[in-house]
Amino acid sequence: MSEELEFHLQQVEQSEAKLNDAQRLARIGNWEMDMTTHKVHWSNEMFNVYGYGNERFEVSFEKALERMLPEDAERTKARMKKNTEEALQAFKEKSIFEFETAPSNFTIILPDDSRKVVQGIGKIILNTNGHVTKIVGTVQDINEEYKAEQKLNAYNIELERKNKEIEQFAYAASHDLQEPLRSISNFSKLLAEKLETYPDKEMNEYMRLISGGASRMSNLIFDLLEYSRVGKDMAKRETDCSKLVHEILADLTVVIAESGAKIHIEKLPVINCYDLKSVFQNLIINAIKFRKKDISPVVNISATSTGKEFLFIIKDNGIGIEKEYYDRIFIIFQRLHLRTQYAGTGIGLSLTKKIIEMHGGRIWVESEIGEGSTFYFTIPIS
């Protein structure tokens, strides 16, 4: 019997050693307060968390409160009172003997007067008569995690501030540029009309270049304004995507007729979303624009549901895209072709990506040179 008792004692010692190691690695100390005697017991790691190292002494609830910031100490006393009342109520209504409290963070003052943020979790234990017999809990050192979280929050706030500044700058600059550009465009047209009969061909070419540049700049500014406005004062609403696409096609009647494009639309879903007009419009216009020479564009538009999201598919028979440019085409101002080959500002697909990601969705392309392109984008159903 003595051998068996010694074996069990060794097992207990080993278990305690493993528990101490685990607590040390996780920086978690545990404590227990007997509500009859009001005596408090701290584990070794509790002394480490509070900065006492190997120093040991008799602990009390009041001494623990003294190591907290005054405001945290007051909150802790109020929280313990509230938790005890809830534990008694839980026992009365549901015969619950162990009531676990929610985690709470507080700041403690270490012996060297430095400060540390910790997280505490407690459990209130009652006997069969509904009396609180003891309260147990853990305290974990989360100081490094807390500082990292605070720094990350500060970075996010700064990033959000800078993003707003950039959006405001883009909007203001684009808006202020419209007026002088409108004057340049109007006067260049008047001057071009006066020079129509002028025999100098070089002069007429200069005027054509001025008018073309003003027109491209106007389109660029318009697209920049639309890009900067995305996300501002937008609200989701129920949208019939089939109806929306047919409205877009009605607006593009001239473009479709000139190109001889054939647009095939399968039934599209009704979804709750922000305005997707720019998304469908940009993808359809690109499918028509980047067509192969002497071949009429064919565009197929469809959608499926995965249960969690809607997957939209816009497939064309155009010139295609090399794989190395799959990501580049979604970057603002990035162009794969000269303006003399294909008109555009280089903003359309980046605007489309911004709107899709604002929904929590994704957009990507699959393509081969000469074999057309298929654009996919998702919109979460929720």
CATH number of the domain at 222, please: 1.10.287
Residues 174 and 136 placed together within one structural domain of the fold: no
Q: What is the pTM for the complete model shown?
A: 0.50
Residues 381 and 295 placed together within one structural domain of the fold: yes
* CATH of residue 56: 3.30.450.20
Mean pLDDT, residues 365-369 taken together = 88
**Highest-confidence segment of 82-91, 203-212, 214-223, 226-235:** 82-91
In angstroms, the CA 137 to CA 29 distance is 9
Instruction: Assess contact for 317 and 292: CB atoms under 8 A.
Output: yes
Residues 178 and 94 placed together within one structural domain of the fold: no
Mean pLDDT, residues 350-361 taken together = 88
For the chain, percent of residues with pLDDT exceeding 90: 35
Domain C-terminal end among 141, 170, 192: 141
Domain C-terminal end among 108, 126, 141: 141
Does residue 174 have a pLDDT over 80?
Answer: no
Eight-state DSSP code of residue 346: S
Q: What is the pLDDT of residue 371?
A: 85
In angstroms, the CA 33 to CA 40 distance is 4
- C-alpha distance from residue 176 to each of 186, 214, 220 (Å): 17, 15, 13
Does residue 235 have a pLDDT over 80?
Answer: no
Residues 151 and 128 placed together within one structural domain of the fold: no
Neighbours of 147 (CB within 10 A): 11
Q: Which segments of 120-261 does DSSP mark as H helices, in order?
A: 143-194, 201-229, 241-251, 253-259
Q: Which of 342, 318, 329, 321 has the alpha carbon at shortest distance from 216?
A: 342
List of residues 6+ apart from 356 with CB closer than 8 A = 279, 362, 363, 377, 378, 379
Residues 218 and 107 placed together within one structural domain of the fold: no
Residues 199 and 284 placed together within one structural domain of the fold: no
66-75, 83-92, 292-301: least confident range: 292-301
Work out the pLDDT band at 335, boundaries 50, 70, 90.
low
Mean pLDDT, residues 54-79 taken together = 91
Beta strand ranges found along the chain (DSSP E): 28-34, 40-42, 98-100, 104-109, 115-126, 132-141, 237-240, 262-265, 270-273, 298-305, 309-316, 363-367, 373-380
**What are the tokens at 285?**
């216009």
Residues 63 and 171 placed together within one structural domain of the fold: no
Residues 264 and 377 placed together within one structural domain of the fold: yes
- C-alpha distance from residue 108 to each of 11, 53, 57, 82 (Å): 35, 15, 18, 22
Q: Which domain holds residue 115?
A: 2-141
Domain C-terminal end among 191, 208, 229: 229
